[in-house]
């Protein structure tokens, strides 16, 4: 009989200075994952509140007195010898000058440079939560193309900054024309844009691609270069592991709740989502009957945020 893995609740802080840089600490020799960079913090002890644990750890580790602010994300992550929950908070303020009181190196890092630092698996979704949008629009099937493009423009005007252009009922020259116009609109709005399934057109337009779950098994390497996002639509643990092995930048996992587009499909629910989430270090959007009102709950279960069609698309165009 397998021995259950021990569970650890780790508190960590996003500490930002006046220049907008974020503090990282390097794990010292003799610890797991020595040499990796992480957000400062440590284990919550029995009987401690999460906030008290973080204040204590930052006092011991950095010599500062911290004021704990809003939650960033809770990341469940399974390691060979333990199951960890990384509970990350912003600091609303602190007193003192951070110094490595346990011999650890410290670095103040500009947000856009965070991905250059090798980190433990649980910290990768934290970086994504700090740098990338918490909503991901998946476009619905178009009827009238001009009305569809006008609706997309309204979504972009409303602030959506990551879009998957998906129109599986459209093919040939119509698809290329529609996708090209959608990409132009997204670029003008400074929004990330990925094309659903069409690797060749993504290469031609120099944008990202959202791989369909059925495409994952047929690929042996990342299909686009760094700088062009590669994401994957996943439904199972093997899907997620394949996406990670291919070097995908993020995944979409669901459905969390029942949806009209997948009638009869058993929903994951949030516990099921978190159970799959902990097996990989990929940033993951939750999908399936979700809206922006679910972002906080999604973050509490380790999601980057929510991906959706209906709740992010103008109602009159659904």
| Bridge partner residues of 244 (DSSP) | none
Q: Which CATH number fits domain 6-122: 3.90.79.10, 3.90.1150.10, 3.30.930.10, 3.40.50.740?
A: 3.90.79.10
Residue 40: phi, psi to the nearest 5?
-60, 145
**Average of per-residue pLDDT across 86-113:** 96
Kind and range of the H or E run holding 258: none
- 135-317: in CATH 3.40.640.10: no
156, 185 contact by CB (below 8 A): yes
Polymer length of the chain: 318
Helix axes 172-188, 145-157, angle to 10 degrees: 20
**Average of per-residue pLDDT across 54-76:** 97
Q: Residue 213 pLDDT > 80, yes or no?
A: yes
**Average of per-residue pLDDT across 189-216:** 98
Confidence of residue 290 (pLDDT cuts 50, 70, 90): very high
Q: Which two tokens stand for residue 205?
A: 């337009």
Confidence of residue 318 (pLDDT cuts 50, 70, 90): very low
- Give domain limits for the chain: 6-122, 135-317
Confidence of residue 265 (pLDDT cuts 50, 70, 90): confident
64, 100 contact by CB (below 8 A): no
Q: Residue 118 pLDDT > 80, yes or no?
A: yes
**Average of per-residue pLDDT across 8-31:** 94
Q: What angle do CA 290, 291, 296 make, to 5 degrees?
A: 95
3-state secondary structure (DSSP) of residue 126: helix
Q: Residue 123 pLDDT > 50, yes or no?
A: yes
pLDDT value of residue 29 = 85
Q: What angle do CA 88, 94, 97 make, to 5 degrees?
A: 110
**Average of per-residue pLDDT across 287-309:** 97
Decide which of 270 and 265 is more confident: 270
N-terminal to C-terminal alpha carbon distance within the chain = 52
Q: Residue 50 pLDDT > 60, yes or no?
A: yes
Confidence of residue 2 (pLDDT cuts 50, 70, 90): low
Residue-wise pLDDT for 77-96, tens only, equals 999 889 999 999 999 999 99
Judged on CB neighbours under 10 Å (0-12, 13-18, 19+), 109 is middle
Confidence of residue 1 (pLDDT cuts 50, 70, 90): low
Residue-wise pLDDT for 128-181, tens only, equals 999 999 999 999 999 999 999 999 999 999 999 999 999 999 999 999 999 999
The alpha carbon of 32 is separated from its chain's Cα centroid by a whole number of angstroms, namely 24
Residues 6+ apart with CB under 8 A from 259: 265, 288, 289
Strands (DSSP E) found in 217-301: 230-234, 250-254, 284-287
Q: Where does 88-171 have alpha helices with state H?
A: 124-131, 145-157
């Amino acid at each position: 009989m397998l021995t259950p893995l021990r569970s650890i609740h780790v508190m960590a802080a996003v500490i930002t200075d006046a220049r907008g840089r974020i503090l990282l600490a390097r794990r010292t020799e003799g610890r797991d994952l020595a040499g990796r960079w992480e957000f400062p913090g440590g284990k919550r002890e029995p009987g401690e509140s999460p906030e008290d644990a973080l204040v204590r750890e930052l006092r011991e580790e950095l010599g500062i007195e911290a004021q704990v602010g809003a939650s960033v994300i809770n990341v469940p992550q399974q390691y060979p010898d333990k199951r960890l929950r990384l509970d990350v908070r912003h600091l609303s303020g602190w007193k003192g000058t951070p110094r490595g009181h346990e011999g650890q190196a410290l670095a103040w890092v500009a947000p856009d440079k965070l991905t250059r630092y090798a980190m433990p698996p649980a910290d990768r979704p934290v970086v994504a939560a700090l740098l990338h949008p918490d909503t991901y629009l998946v476009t619905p099937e178009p009827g009238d193309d001009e009305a569809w493009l006008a609706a997309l423009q309204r979504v972009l005007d409303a602030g959506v900054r990551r879009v998957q252009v998906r129109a599986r009922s459209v093919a040939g020259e119509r698809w290329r024309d529609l996708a090209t116009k959608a990409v132009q609109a997204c670029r003008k709005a400074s929004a990330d844009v990925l094309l659903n399934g069409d690797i060749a057109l993504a290469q031609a337009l120099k944008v990202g691609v959202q791989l369909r779950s059925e495409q994952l098994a047929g690929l042996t390497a990342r299909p686009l270069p760094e700088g062009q996002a590669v994401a994957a639509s996943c439904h199972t643990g093997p899907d997620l592991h394949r996406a990670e092995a291919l070097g995908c930048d993020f995944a979409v996992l669901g459905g969390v709740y029942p949806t009209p587009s997948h009638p009869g499909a058993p929903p994951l629910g949030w516990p099921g989502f978190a159970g799959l989430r902990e097996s990989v270090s990929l940033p993951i959007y939750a999908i399936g009957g979700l809206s922006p009102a679910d972002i906080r709950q999604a973050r509490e279960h380790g999601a980057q945020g929510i991906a959706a069609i209906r709740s992010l698309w103008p109602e009159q165009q659904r």
